[in-house]
Structure 1
Amino acid sequence: MSNMFLEGLFAPVTEEITAHDLPVTGTIPPELSGRYLRIGPNPLGSEDASTYHWFGGEGMVHGVRIRDGRAEWYRNRWVRSRDVAAKLGEEWPGGPAVENFDLAPNTHVRGHAGRTFALVEGGFRPYELTYDLDTVGACDFDGTLPGGYSAHSMRDPATGDLHAIAYFFGWEYVQHIVLNAAGRVTRTVNIPVEDGPMIHDLALTERYVVIYDLPVTFSMERAEAGVSVPYAWNDAHPARVGLLPRNGTAEQVRWFEIDPCWVFHTLNAHEDGDRVVIDLVKYPKLMVGGHLAGPTPVLDRWTLDTTSGKVLQETLDDTPQEFPRIDERLTGQRHRYGYTVTSSDFFGSGRAGEALEKHDYLTGRRERHDLPGGCGVGEAVFIPTAPDAAEDDGYLMAFAHDPGRSATDLVILSAQDFTARPLATVHLPVRVPIGFHGSWVPDTV
């Protein structure tokens, strides 16, 4: 039996490498100093194609170090969970992993409080990494994290706090977690929910944390069948969106009923008087009959009217797209620009991203940047040219497959000249499998 997530551009790589002084076409902007990091599933050892689920593969982080206009190194490293360390014949680095519930994070990697964290959801703990991407160990943020964490968190630009929503099938609630700028949990709120919903992302505004309670929930049937990700579409679970006041209690969450759908990723949210406006990628359904995705993901805008209690759900762009990002200095505020990955057949063709798109929410204009070969581009991360630069005055970084070399490039685009050739293309010596999320971690943070 074949499994597209073990084949083609998704196929795992089998070696960890370190390469120095990478070749570059074009010119890397000299003000860039830091690491571009990206993570994804990279199963270690033979996998049963009939049962393997992309979300469950052991995480491997990939990184490119940039300084003084040079690409100094590329590294790829498995995150050393207990199981990964055992498979590699190494001693587990240790740390406060939940006993008998440990996974090598595979979904997001980011810098915070001068440290580097690999992240996953579903009740698992983060893992801390060194600057060079070696594993420090499982992490509970210096003893302040009561349970698992989330793959996604949103940084409040005003405070430096990270906000996240964590879930676990054994809880009768989901948990809002605030991680302060020093890397310690300062607040947790348990919000009761039914059926054990999967919650991949959240949204943040000036006054609210936005919670998605949608019809993909824990499935005991799938768990008993040994499925590694035992969640499925649940027609009996109502779809709703909650507004938790930033410093509020669970009793203060206000819920808004919406049409059944699924959301992996938020682009951004902001407040407009008594309305909360959320831009996101919506799936009509997800994880039906054991399949990962449902119908085409589209770019939506949801407007929650806190006066009337009504919700307006509208599709802004029905082009298939995913992995939305913004200039994160505007998280929770009104934004003009957003960046997504587009594909004619997400998760169905084995190609994943075919091009990058830029959306101008003021004019409605959409621009498309096609990569050579037309396939295999991942999520694009925005980096401003300077801390006080205007929105869209910056660069976009993404991994893109080069079919001519059967390897991967790190492309650096000008956000303001989006359709032009990349400013720089860093040529990696190997293929990076299609994966999930990443970050630019500047050396100044």
Structure 2
Amino acid sequence: MNRNPDAEVRNPYLGGLYAPVTDETTAYDLPVTGRLPESLRGRYLRNGPNPVHVDDPAGYHWFGGDGMIHGVRLRDGRAEWYRNRWVRSDAVAGRLGEKLLHGRRHRGLDFAPNTHVQSFAGHCLALVEGGALPYELDPELHTIGPFDFHGTLPGGFSAHPVTDPHDGELHAVAYCPAWPYVQYVVAGRNGCVRRHVEIPVAGSPMMHAFSLTERYVLLYDLPVVFGRDPRDGGAHPRWVPDRPARLGLLPRDGGAAETRWLETEPCFVFHPMNAYQRDDGRITVHLAVYDRYFDRRRPLPGDHLARLERWTVDPVAGTVRRLPLDDRPVEYPRVDPRRLTVRHRFGYVMRERVAGRDTALIKYDLERGTSEEFEVPAGGDVGEGVFVPAAPGAAEDEGWVLAYAYDPARGAGELVVLAAQDFAAGPVARVHLPGRVPLGFHGSWIPDCP
């Protein structure tokens, strides 16, 4: 696949645990250490960058790699299969010598989504931000093609939509740096967009994610904007320190003119954990916050680290109060998906690798102010932890946390399954995968239909 070992040494995103894998693999009846919970019946899928080809190894950045989905199928205490598949944009299909797909593109943008994978209205969608459409996958991870919500999507889409667990509707905030816009989009349970709001925002801010409460859409307009680089003519994000940092409050059923913008200190947010309304009318948000980001064109691993904060938003007073909760560097915050938009007690994050310490997963008890860690063995790694309830009516932390990890003893990946109520005890099961899963981004548990 045209790998250049010297470039891998120079570019950390092409070597080590970031290094792309070169083959698609299918393996059945995977070996398991421990015991898989019988209640886990479905697929754990995770997306991440895995370029088929890199034209400029020295200039490659992780965020720009072609998407690859890694999936494990669990049922009846068994790990039935593992698959990894590239998302077939036209460019990927062409590189692989395959027939190109047909379907609508938004303004001609053709990119293999590399950031997230979610299920909605019977469709499994690979997701990315910036104006490209989601791509639909079949149950065995083959690409069906671009998905435009049955012709109703007004523009591109988001890497981080939120499914409201109370009505099943999908909410997203989409932006496009090439033709600057910001849109709030709501899709009904039939898979069609039923509402969208054009939100006037100066410049071209990077809005990787947003937050949703029972009343409001929270918009993060922070000092990272896209600008044209004369070296290649492309739009790249950059830190603009004198740009005001604002949090927008858009009523869920309101128009753009009803958005209130509240100023806060300069910072950047990729990933909120959750947001909810309090009885006193204020809003609580938990999120991973960076002091700054993209103050160099291609940030390297470890250049910037985020820490968990709690923001208290007062719509009446027009204030945002920030409270740091932990000094540990963390990312990829998640909660029980049944608690999205409402009060939650528990949250799960990945602790970043720092000098002398490998990565870990952390479970926070946000009411008590305590935490537990599952730390990987020396030389290992672990990605985002996804919470799966043990049953529809189970308690908030009664369930399992699933994540891909790297086992240095085998030089291969594994799916670890932790009991959320006994987090620090380590995995109740490890599914041994046939190869390495490169470091990646976000995933979902897609349960079997009852």
Please report the TM-score for the alignment, with normalisation by the length of structure 2. 0.95
Give 4+ residue runs of structure 1 displaced > 3 Å after superposition.
170-173
**What letter matches 1:333 in structure 2?**
V
Partner of 2:269: 263
Deviations 1:111-152 (A, max 9, x none): 111120000000011000000000000110110111100000
Partner of 1:397: 402
Q: Does residue 369 of the first structure (1) align with residue 377 of the second (2)? A: no
SS in 2 for 1:423: strand
Partner of 2:281: 274
Match of 1:242 among 248, 262, 272: 248
Contact 2:113 2:127 in 1 (8 A): yes
Partner of 1:251: 257
Deviations 1:83-119 (A, max 9, x none): 0010011111221123531100000001111120000
Partner of 1:408: 413
Partner of 1:34: 42
CA RMSD, Structure 1 to Structure 2 (Å):
1.6
Contact 1:355 1:375 in 2 (8 A): no
Contact 1:400 1:411 in 2 (8 A): yes
Identity value in percent: 52
Match of 1:70 among 41, 64, 78: 78
Partner of 1:298: 307
Contact 2:61 2:298 in 1 (8 A): no
Match of 1:315 among 324, 328, 335: 324
SS in 1 for 2:341: coil
Q: Does residue 88 of the first structure (1) align with residue 86 of the second (2)? A: no
**What letter matches 1:218 in structure 2?**
F
Change (3 A) 1:411 1:160: same
Partners of 1:373 and 1:402 lie apart in 2 by: 9
Match of 1:440 among 421, 441, 445: 445
Measured after TM superposition, the shift of residue 290 of structure 1 is 1.3
Contact 2:54 2:60 in 1 (8 A): no
Please list, as runs of the form range in 1=range in 2, the aligned pairs for 1:36-435 lying within 5 A after superposition.
36-220=44-228, 222=229, 224-226=230-232, 230-272=236-278, 273-292=280-299, 294-345=303-354, 354-373=359-378, 375-435=380-440
Task: Name which of structure 1's ranges 185-194 and 304-313 shifts more when overlaid on structure 2.
Answer: 304-313
Measured after TM superposition, the shift of residue 253 of structure 1 is 0.5
Partners of 1:310 and 1:147 lie apart in 2 by: 32
Partner of 1:17: 25
Contact 1:172 1:192 in 2 (8 A): no
Match of 2:12 among 4, 14, 17: 4
**What letter matches 2:448 in structure 1?**
D
Change (3 A) 1:353 1:103: farther
Task: Name which of structure 1's ranges 144-153 and 173-182 shifts more when overlaid on structure 2.
Answer: 173-182
Partner of 2:4: none
Change (3 A) 1:352 1:297: farther
Contact 2:177 2:235 in 1 (8 A): no
**What letter matches 2:329 in structure 1?**
P
How many residue pairs are counted as aligned between the two chains?
439
Measured after TM superposition, the shift of residue 366 of structure 1 is 1.1
Partners of 1:191 and 1:421 lie apart in 2 by: 45
Contact 2:89 2:111 in 1 (8 A): yes
Change (3 A) 1:120 1:167: same
Partners of 1:46 and 1:215 lie apart in 2 by: 30
Please report the TM-score for the alignment, with normalisation by the length of structure 1. 0.96
Partners of 2:357 and 2:332 lie apart in 1 by: 11
Deviations 1:139-197 (A, max 9, x none): 10110111100000111111101111100114443100111222111111010001100
Partners of 1:324 and 1:16 lie apart in 2 by: 29
Measured after TM superposition, the shift of residue 227 of structure 1 is 7.5
Contact 2:236 2:297 in 1 (8 A): no
**What letter matches 1:274 in structure 2?**
G
Contact 1:398 1:412 in 2 (8 A): yes
**What letter matches 1:267 in structure 2?**
M
SS in 1 for 2:325: strand
Task: Name which of structure 1's ranges 138-147 and 352-361 shifts more when overlaid on structure 2.
Answer: 352-361
Measured after TM superposition, the shift of residue 237 of structure 1 is 1.9
**What letter matches 2:217 in structure 1?**
V
SS in 2 for 1:211: strand
Measured after TM superposition, the shift of residue 228 of structure 1 is 6.2
Contact 1:341 1:353 in 2 (8 A): no
Change (3 A) 1:404 1:280: same
Contact 2:273 2:335 in 1 (8 A): yes
Partners of 2:345 and 2:304 lie apart in 1 by: 27
Contact 2:358 2:378 in 1 (8 A): no
Partners of 1:162 and 1:332 lie apart in 2 by: 12
The answer for unaligned runs of 5 or more in structure 2 is 1-6
Partners of 1:131 and 1:95 lie apart in 2 by: 20
Partners of 1:259 and 1:274 lie apart in 2 by: 22
